[in-house]
Structure 1
Protein backbone atom coordinates (compact mmCIF):
# COMPACT_ATOMS: atom_id res chain seq x y z
CA UNK A 1 0.00 0.00 0.00
CA UNK A 2 1.24 3.44 -0.70
CA UNK A 3 1.55 6.12 1.97
CA UNK A 4 -1.49 8.01 0.72
CA UNK A 5 -3.87 5.01 1.21
CA UNK A 6 -2.44 4.37 4.67
CA UNK A 7 -2.96 8.00 5.60
CA UNK A 8 -6.59 7.93 4.39
CA UNK A 9 -7.31 4.70 6.32
CA UNK A 10 -5.72 6.20 9.43
CA UNK A 11 -7.83 9.36 9.17
CA UNK A 12 -11.03 7.34 8.63
CA UNK A 13 -10.22 5.13 11.62
CA UNK A 14 -9.61 8.15 13.84
CA UNK A 15 -12.90 9.74 12.68
CA UNK A 16 -14.88 6.56 13.33
CA UNK A 17 -13.39 6.17 16.80
CA UNK A 18 -13.99 9.85 17.59
CA UNK A 19 -17.61 9.75 16.42
CA UNK A 20 -18.40 6.49 18.22
CA UNK A 21 -17.07 7.92 21.48
CA UNK A 22 -19.44 10.89 21.20
CA UNK A 23 -22.62 8.86 21.14
CA UNK A 24 -24.64 8.99 24.36
CA UNK A 25 -26.85 5.93 24.88
CA UNK A 26 -29.52 8.09 26.52
CA UNK A 27 -29.62 10.74 23.82
CA UNK A 28 -32.37 11.23 21.26
CA UNK A 29 -31.97 11.17 17.49
CA UNK A 30 -28.56 11.72 15.96
CA UNK A 31 -28.76 13.88 12.89
CA UNK A 32 -26.39 14.72 10.11
CA UNK A 33 -26.78 16.61 6.87
CA UNK A 34 -27.99 13.54 5.01
CA UNK A 35 -29.72 11.28 7.50
CA UNK A 36 -31.35 10.89 10.88
CA UNK A 37 -30.59 7.89 13.03
CA UNK A 38 -33.17 7.16 15.70
CA UNK A 39 -32.14 4.81 18.44
CA UNK A 40 -34.78 2.32 19.49
CA UNK A 41 -34.97 -0.29 22.18
CA UNK A 42 -36.90 -3.49 22.30
CA UNK A 43 -40.13 -3.14 24.28
CA UNK A 44 -42.02 -6.14 25.53
CA UNK A 45 -45.71 -5.62 24.76
CA UNK A 46 -48.01 -5.61 27.75
CA UNK A 47 -50.38 -8.52 28.01
CA UNK A 48 -53.96 -7.35 27.99
CA UNK A 49 -57.31 -7.58 26.39
CA UNK A 50 -58.47 -5.53 23.41
CA UNK A 51 -60.93 -2.81 24.32
CA UNK A 52 -63.19 -1.84 21.43
CA UNK A 53 -63.50 1.88 20.88
CA UNK A 54 -66.94 3.39 20.59
CA UNK A 55 -67.98 3.81 17.00
CA UNK A 56 -69.83 6.83 15.63
CA UNK A 57 -71.45 6.98 12.20
CA UNK A 58 -72.87 10.12 10.64
CA UNK A 59 -76.12 11.08 8.92
CA UNK A 60 -76.34 14.42 7.14
CA UNK A 61 -79.65 16.24 6.78
CA UNK A 62 -79.71 18.33 3.63
CA UNK A 63 -82.32 19.21 1.02
CA UNK A 64 -85.06 17.62 3.16
CA UNK A 65 -83.24 14.28 2.93
CA UNK A 66 -81.33 12.03 5.31
CA UNK A 67 -78.03 10.87 3.85
CA UNK A 68 -77.56 7.95 4.01
CA UNK A 69 -81.16 6.85 4.27
CA UNK A 70 -80.26 3.40 5.61
CA UNK A 71 -77.46 2.28 7.90
CA UNK A 72 -76.36 -1.15 9.07
CA UNK A 73 -74.50 -0.85 12.37
CA UNK A 74 -73.44 -3.03 15.28
CA UNK A 75 -74.89 -2.86 18.75
CA UNK A 76 -73.34 -0.02 20.77
CA UNK A 77 -72.79 2.30 17.80
CA UNK A 78 -73.68 5.98 18.06
CA UNK A 79 -75.42 7.68 15.14
CA UNK A 80 -74.89 11.43 14.84
CA UNK A 81 -77.35 13.49 12.78
CA UNK A 82 -76.06 16.88 11.56
CA UNK A 83 -78.26 19.51 9.96
CA UNK A 84 -76.52 20.91 6.87
CA UNK A 85 -79.73 22.58 5.69
CA UNK A 86 -81.08 26.10 6.23
CA UNK A 87 -84.35 24.89 7.85
CA UNK A 88 -84.67 23.24 11.25
CA UNK A 89 -85.40 19.56 11.87
CA UNK A 90 -86.44 17.35 14.78
CA UNK A 91 -85.27 13.73 14.53
CA UNK A 92 -87.45 10.95 16.01
CA UNK A 93 -85.89 7.52 16.54
CA UNK A 94 -86.31 4.65 19.00
CA UNK A 95 -89.02 6.53 20.95
CA UNK A 96 -86.59 9.42 21.48
CA UNK A 97 -86.81 12.90 20.00
CA UNK A 98 -83.93 15.27 19.31
CA UNK A 99 -84.05 18.93 20.21
CA UNK A 100 -84.65 21.34 17.33
CA UNK A 101 -81.64 21.06 15.03
CA UNK A 102 -80.91 24.37 13.36
CA UNK A 103 -78.25 24.71 10.68
CA UNK A 104 -74.93 23.09 11.77
CA UNK A 105 -76.51 21.61 14.92
CA UNK A 106 -75.97 17.92 15.67
CA UNK A 107 -77.62 15.32 17.83
CA UNK A 108 -76.63 11.74 18.51
CA UNK A 109 -78.19 8.56 19.79
CA UNK A 110 -76.46 5.33 20.81
CA UNK A 111 -78.15 2.08 19.81
CA UNK A 112 -77.75 -0.46 22.61
CA UNK A 113 -80.18 -3.09 21.34
CA UNK A 114 -80.54 -4.97 18.10
CA UNK A 115 -83.42 -4.43 15.72
CA UNK A 116 -84.66 -2.24 12.90
CA UNK A 117 -85.31 1.37 13.82
CA UNK A 118 -87.19 3.77 11.56
CA UNK A 119 -86.47 7.46 12.02
CA UNK A 120 -88.05 10.62 10.66
CA UNK A 121 -88.35 14.35 11.12
CA UNK A 122 -91.48 15.22 13.06
CA UNK A 123 -91.63 18.78 11.70
CA UNK A 124 -91.29 17.54 8.07
CA UNK A 125 -93.71 14.58 7.81
CA UNK A 126 -93.42 14.34 4.00
CA UNK A 127 -89.66 13.84 4.26
CA UNK A 128 -88.50 10.27 3.44
CA UNK A 129 -87.95 8.18 6.55
CA UNK A 130 -84.61 6.64 7.36
CA UNK A 131 -83.80 3.18 8.70
CA UNK A 132 -81.12 1.88 11.03
CA UNK A 133 -80.49 -1.84 11.24
CA UNK A 134 -78.64 -2.79 14.43
CA UNK A 135 -76.94 -6.19 14.52
CA UNK A 136 -74.68 -7.97 17.00
Structure 2
Protein backbone atom coordinates (compact mmCIF):
# COMPACT_ATOMS: atom_id res chain seq x y z
CA UNK A 1 0.00 0.00 0.00
CA UNK A 2 2.83 2.39 0.82
CA UNK A 3 4.49 1.73 -2.54
CA UNK A 4 1.34 2.66 -4.49
CA UNK A 5 0.98 5.84 -2.41
CA UNK A 6 4.58 6.80 -3.19
CA UNK A 7 4.06 6.16 -6.91
CA UNK A 8 0.88 8.25 -6.87
CA UNK A 9 2.74 11.09 -5.13
CA UNK A 10 5.53 11.00 -7.72
CA UNK A 11 2.99 11.06 -10.56
CA UNK A 12 1.19 14.04 -9.02
CA UNK A 13 4.48 15.91 -8.59
CA UNK A 14 5.41 15.22 -12.22
CA UNK A 15 2.03 16.48 -13.41
CA UNK A 16 2.43 19.69 -11.39
CA UNK A 17 5.94 20.23 -12.80
CA UNK A 18 4.68 19.77 -16.37
CA UNK A 19 1.82 22.24 -15.80
CA UNK A 20 4.13 24.87 -14.29
CA UNK A 21 6.65 24.44 -17.12
CA UNK A 22 3.91 24.76 -19.75
CA UNK A 23 2.60 27.93 -18.10
CA UNK A 24 6.10 29.43 -18.04
CA UNK A 25 6.59 28.72 -21.74
CA UNK A 26 3.24 30.30 -22.60
CA UNK A 27 4.04 33.40 -20.54
CA UNK A 28 7.28 33.95 -22.48
CA UNK A 29 5.21 34.78 -25.56
CA UNK A 30 3.21 37.49 -23.78
CA UNK A 31 4.46 41.07 -24.30
CA UNK A 32 5.42 42.81 -21.10
CA UNK A 33 5.61 39.63 -19.04
CA UNK A 34 8.95 38.16 -20.09
CA UNK A 35 11.71 39.72 -22.13
CA UNK A 36 14.45 37.26 -23.08
CA UNK A 37 16.80 40.17 -23.84
CA UNK A 38 16.79 41.32 -20.22
CA UNK A 39 14.88 44.51 -20.94
CA UNK A 40 16.47 45.43 -24.23
CA UNK A 41 14.52 44.95 -27.41
CA UNK A 42 17.01 44.22 -30.17
CA UNK A 43 14.23 44.03 -32.78
CA UNK A 44 13.12 47.63 -32.77
CA UNK A 45 10.56 48.71 -35.36
CA UNK A 46 12.24 50.48 -38.23
CA UNK A 47 10.94 53.97 -38.83
CA UNK A 48 11.81 56.36 -41.59
CA UNK A 49 13.98 58.52 -39.36
CA UNK A 50 12.97 61.45 -41.55
CA UNK A 51 13.79 64.98 -40.47
CA UNK A 52 10.70 67.10 -39.99
CA UNK A 53 10.05 70.70 -39.06
CA UNK A 54 7.32 72.11 -36.86
CA UNK A 55 5.93 68.89 -35.44
CA UNK A 56 6.31 65.17 -35.64
CA UNK A 57 4.29 62.14 -34.58
CA UNK A 58 5.19 58.86 -32.89
CA UNK A 59 2.67 56.04 -33.04
CA UNK A 60 2.47 53.60 -30.12
CA UNK A 61 0.98 50.34 -31.34
CA UNK A 62 1.59 46.60 -31.00
CA UNK A 63 3.96 47.23 -28.07
CA UNK A 64 6.28 49.40 -30.20
CA UNK A 65 7.12 53.04 -30.93
CA UNK A 66 7.11 54.02 -34.61
CA UNK A 67 9.21 55.53 -36.06
CA UNK A 68 12.51 54.87 -34.34
CA UNK A 69 14.90 56.43 -34.62
CA UNK A 70 13.20 59.74 -35.37
CA UNK A 71 15.39 62.69 -36.39
CA UNK A 72 14.05 66.21 -35.86
CA UNK A 73 15.53 69.72 -35.64
CA UNK A 74 15.69 71.68 -32.38
CA UNK A 75 12.34 73.26 -31.54
CA UNK A 76 10.26 70.39 -32.89
CA UNK A 77 7.25 69.26 -30.90
CA UNK A 78 6.85 65.50 -30.98
CA UNK A 79 3.43 64.03 -30.20
CA UNK A 80 3.04 60.43 -29.10
CA UNK A 81 -0.36 58.79 -29.68
CA UNK A 82 -1.23 55.53 -27.96
CA UNK A 83 -3.10 53.40 -30.47
CA UNK A 84 -2.68 50.26 -28.38
CA UNK A 85 -5.42 48.77 -26.23
CA UNK A 86 -3.16 48.90 -23.15
CA UNK A 87 -1.61 51.90 -21.36
CA UNK A 88 1.96 52.91 -22.22
CA UNK A 89 4.43 55.69 -21.38
CA UNK A 90 7.13 57.57 -23.24
CA UNK A 91 9.82 58.07 -20.60
CA UNK A 92 13.32 59.33 -21.33
CA UNK A 93 16.33 57.38 -20.11
CA UNK A 94 19.08 59.61 -21.51
CA UNK A 95 19.53 62.91 -23.29
CA UNK A 96 20.14 66.59 -22.54
CA UNK A 97 16.64 66.94 -21.01
CA UNK A 98 14.10 64.52 -19.60
CA UNK A 99 10.45 63.85 -20.36
CA UNK A 100 7.77 61.50 -19.06
CA UNK A 101 4.30 61.19 -20.50
CA UNK A 102 2.83 59.32 -17.57
CA UNK A 103 0.46 56.49 -18.45
CA UNK A 104 -1.36 57.08 -21.73
CA UNK A 105 -4.55 55.12 -22.23
CA UNK A 106 -5.75 54.13 -25.70
CA UNK A 107 -6.31 57.22 -27.85
CA UNK A 108 -4.49 59.61 -25.51
CA UNK A 109 -1.60 61.81 -26.65
CA UNK A 110 1.46 63.44 -25.11
CA UNK A 111 3.55 66.22 -26.65
CA UNK A 112 7.05 67.39 -25.83
CA UNK A 113 9.09 70.15 -27.48
CA UNK A 114 12.78 69.34 -27.91
CA UNK A 115 14.72 72.55 -27.16
CA UNK A 116 18.21 71.00 -26.94
CA UNK A 117 20.15 69.05 -29.56
CA UNK A 118 21.20 65.53 -28.66
CA UNK A 119 20.17 61.91 -28.64
CA UNK A 120 17.21 61.00 -26.47
CA UNK A 121 16.63 57.36 -25.63
CA UNK A 122 13.24 56.51 -24.17
CA UNK A 123 11.11 53.55 -23.21
CA UNK A 124 7.74 52.48 -21.79
CA UNK A 125 7.94 52.06 -18.01
CA UNK A 126 5.43 49.17 -17.73
CA UNK A 127 6.97 47.45 -20.78
CA UNK A 128 10.73 48.15 -20.63
CA UNK A 129 11.41 46.13 -23.77
CA UNK A 130 9.66 48.93 -25.69
CA UNK A 131 12.56 51.26 -26.52
CA UNK A 132 13.07 54.01 -29.06
CA UNK A 133 15.24 57.00 -29.87
CA UNK A 134 14.86 60.60 -30.99
CA UNK A 135 17.83 62.44 -32.48
CA UNK A 136 17.54 66.23 -32.23
CA UNK A 137 19.81 68.15 -34.60
CA UNK A 138 20.86 71.79 -34.71
CA UNK A 139 22.05 74.29 -32.12
Match of 1:76 in 2: 75
Larger RCO (CA within 8 A; separation ≥ 6): 2
Q: Which of 85, 106, 110 is residue 107 of structure 1 equivalent to?
A: 110
Match of 2:64 in 1: 65
State the 1:96 CA deviation. 2.0
Higher strand share: 1
State the 1:69 CA deviation. 1.4
State the 1:100 CA deviation. 1.2
Give 1 or 2 for the bigger CA radius of gyration: 1
Distance in 2, matches of 1:117 and 1:57, equals 15
Distance in 1, matches of 2:104 and 2:82, equals 6
State the 1:95 CA deviation. 2.2
Aligned residues: 82
Match of 1:134 in 2: 136
Contact 2:123/2:129, CA 8 A, preserved across alignment = no
Distance in 2, matches of 1:81 and 1:133, equals 15
- Structure 1 residues 8-87: aligned runs within 5 Å: 55-87=54-86
The answer for unaligned runs of 5 or more in structure 1 is: 1-53
State the 1:76 CA deviation. 0.2
Distance in 1, matches of 2:64 and 2:89, equals 13
Helix, strand or coil: the match of 1:88?
coil
Distance in 2, matches of 1:69 and 1:135, equals 15
Distance in 2, matches of 1:59 and 1:91, equals 10
Helix, strand or coil: the match of 1:95?
coil
* Structure 1 runs of 4+ with >3 Å offset: none
Higher helix share: 2
TM-score by length of 2: 0.56
